[in-house]
Structure 1
Amino acid sequence: MKLSGVHHVAYRCKDAKETVVWYEKYLNMDYQLAFAEDHVPSTGAYDPYMHVFLDAGNGNVLAFFELPEQPEMGRDENTPAWVQHLALKADSLDDLINTKALLEADGIEVIGPTNHVLFKSIYFFDPNGHRLELAVDTSTAEMNAKLDVVKWNMLNEWAETKRAPKHASWLHDGSHD
């Protein structure tokens, strides 16, 4: 089987309405649909929920579950906050900078733009504590080809040593210029 795409990605939220309004305001996502049940269709378990869906562009859908009868949501305390995140595509560097200004104007802390050579991005948290990255592509065909050549060597070296291989150190050491 070959996958044809991601149907949707789902996260938990603290408040479905607040989440929809936030994503509409800051990331210009259209609210697509919602459904709610008292029982989980896949398990039959009683667990009332509201499930909302937002259009992330190009057929991509971001969904959230509000679970009012579950304990307050948290995060994996054994994983640094920067690791688990959702990276969304921006069309241009101007869009990235304008979104950063909008977020900061409302008191939302934003890191970046960070230059990853292949892309530039900003980082921030939604009202549920989910880390988001907004990225704009800056790669070239040459860069991508160079990384393609070394990807398996890097992965195999990492699997054996658990130390960062240096095959693509040019991405962040300044030697890509």
Structure 2
Amino acid sequence: MVNSGIACQETSMPTASLPPPAPIQQLHHYAYRARDAEETRQFYEDILGLPLYHIIQSDFVPSTGEYCPYTHFFFRLQDGSFIAFFDLGDDQAAEPSPNTPKWVNHISFRVNTVEELEATKARLQAHGVEVLGVTDHHIFKSIYFFDPNGIRLELTAQLADEFQMLTESRTAHARLAEWNARKEQWRRERAAGQATAPLKPQQNDRPEVAARAQG
């Protein structure tokens, strides 16, 4: 069950009679707060090459009805999905989460080849953007950087083919179930004062990173 932080309303409809979930085809858009629309446009359109595609402006929020004037603008990816932003007209960027490392929350975009990845890295650096990588994740390679709003972005070139990814998927539920069981045990130990450090995963898929960090 997903814990949204909001108490769920009870429903009289039995679970068995619910319709199946609609097939989710692809990402439509991811939206984030922008400090300045033009600064953001220059980064995404002029540097990354994502065309500005759509703008919505209003004084009131359609979903909540609250008064909050905004300009909502969208950049289109090759697959027809979008990354979008809200400029609230106050020159304020979104505040980073105080309890989450800066590398955790990020958006990853895919390019076709490692050569394109390296070319984009050079282009970003020529525009004064600090870039980490190329980082080898075995099934893909990536570079990392921040946009003008403090959003961590990743560009990825896939290495693994569809067969390898399908093979990986066959163990995903079992591995997550093992993690969940260990986390339940860790919670009991923490409640009893026997565990203070965060839980570590049951296996290390990237031993070379640990060796490099410790060496």
Larger gyration radius, structure 1 or structure 2: 2
Structure 1 vs Structure 2 CA RMSD = 1.8
Matched residue type, 1:27: L
Q: Deviations over 1:118-152 (max 9, x none)?
A: 10000000000000000000003453233122111
Q: Deviations over 1:31-74 (max 9, x none)?
A: 10112111111111110101001012111111100112596521
Structure 2 portions without partners, runs of 5+? 1-21, 184-199, 209-215
% identity of equivalent residues? 38
What's the CA shift for 1:16? 0.9
CA contact under 8 A between 2:35 and 2:92: conserved in structure 1?
A: no
Q: Which residue of 1 aligns with 2:176?
A: 155
Trace 1:91-130 onto structure 2 (pairs within 5 A): 91-130=112-151
Higher strand share: 1
Structure 1 portions without partners, runs of 5+? none
Partner of 1:120, secondary structure, is: strand
**Which of the pair has the greater relative contact order for Cα pairs under 8 Å at 6+ separation?**
1
Supply the distance in 1 between the matched residues of 2:52 and 2:92 (Cα, whole angstroms).
26
Supply the distance in 1 between the matched residues of 2:59 and 2:89 (Cα, whole angstroms).
11
In 2 relative to 1, CA 41–130 (structure 1 residues): closer, same or farther, beyond 3 Å?
same
In 2 relative to 1, CA 71–61 (structure 1 residues): closer, same or farther, beyond 3 Å?
closer
CA contact under 8 A between 1:90 and 1:136: conserved in structure 2?
A: yes
Of the candidates 73, 87, 108, which is equivalent to residue 66 of structure 1? Answer: 87
Matched residue type, 2:43: W
Count matched residues: 171
CA contact under 8 A between 1:48 and 1:69: conserved in structure 2?
A: no
